[in-house]
């Protein structure tokens, strides 16, 4: 039970810290997709 509690806390901490970076990650993925699309053309 203790192990599960620690796992839940770690996951929650990662989610909270990731909230600020999700938008930036989306922009990076869009740029990568654009580059791949240009390479295909």
pLDDT in tens, 1-41: 778 888 888 887 776 666 656 666 677 778 888 888 888 77
Domain residues for the domain of 16 are 2-40
pLDDT of residue 28: 75
User: With 0-12 CB in 10 A as exposed, 13-18 as middle and 19+ as buried, what is 30?
Assistant: exposed
Number of H helices and number of E strands within the chain?
A: 2, 0
DSSP 8-state secondary structure symbol assigned to residue 20: T
pLDDT of residue 33: 82
For residues 21 and 29, what is the distance between their CA atoms, to the nearest angstrom?
12
Tell me the CA distances in angstroms from 5 to 8, 12, 14, 26, one per residue in order: 5, 11, 14, 30
Indicate the number of domains in the chain: 1
Average pLDDT of the chain to the nearest whole number: 75
């Amino acid at each position: 039970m203790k192990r599960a509690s620690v796992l839940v806390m770690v996951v929650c901490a990662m989610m909270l810290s990731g909230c600020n970076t999700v938008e930036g990650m989306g922009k990076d993925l869009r740029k990568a997709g654009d580059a791949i699309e240009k390479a295909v053309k």
